[in-house]
Structure 1
């Protein structure tokens, strides 16, 4: 698996493998593994799942390319679960091309129709 980095502005807040996806929608999502700096934005990620644009969230590829997309969200449900449960969503991926970054998502999606 490739590991992607998640930033709030210029601050690294965590990592993800973006292990799941919806290729036709250009969406990739996966478990979010926070680093210490995440604590500064965690309350906002718990309380606000609607509009996190003020957090200026971005995701970078393992090659340090910023993924061009419609938006990034961190959904933190840890307060509702007995364990840490945080997910990151990258919506409307346009560049680098979805199929280049996530060929395994595309293959899995296409297998559904065979």
Structure 2
């Protein structure tokens, strides 16, 4: 069973992610973003960052952006549990897609929300 998480920016649902990748010991999850609309792209993210004083790095030629923490970026599961951590950011480019990164989710919450990532990590230690 694959879990999808809703992604909101300023209370507007912009897409979903499966948060399919993780670094469990570090309390990190990340995953590809499936945006609801093609308007959510490099130009949109860049403009949002400029307007909201979000630090970012970019390569305008390839339309690549890597944001720092976006406080108004909210991720929640279907039970409405917020997946916050200490930082939520987006990186990627128009041609290859974008990824959401959530860093610093504290235990035991991480283990409660992502038991599959913890279990996978534990099998690597055996």
TM tier, smaller: 0.7 to 0.9
The structure richer in helix per residue is 1
- Name 2:21's counterpart in structure 1: 20
* 4+ aligned runs moved over 6 Å, structure 1: none
Change (3 A) 1:3 1:41: same
Change (3 A) 1:2 1:96: farther
- Name 1:49's counterpart in structure 2: 66
TM (norm. structure 1) is: 0.80
Alpha-carbon offset, residue 56 of structure 1: 1.6
Change (3 A) 1:92 1:98: same
Q: Secondary structure at the match of 1:100?
A: helix
| 1:93-108 equivalent positions in 2, closer than 5 A | 93-94=105-106, 97-108=109-120
Alpha-carbon offset, residue 94 of structure 1: 2.9
Change (3 A) 1:46 1:4: farther
> Does 1:66 find its partner at 2:82?
yes
Q: Which entry has the higher C-alpha Rg, 1 or 2?
A: 2
TM (norm. structure 2) is: 0.73
Gaps (5+ residues) in structure 1? Answer: none
- Name 2:53's counterpart in structure 1: none
Q: Secondary structure at the match of 1:38?
A: coil
Number of paired residues? 109
Gaps (5+ residues) in structure 2? Answer: 50-55, 59-64
What root-mean-square deviation, in Å, do the aligned CA atoms of Structure 1 and Structure 2 show? Answer: 2.4
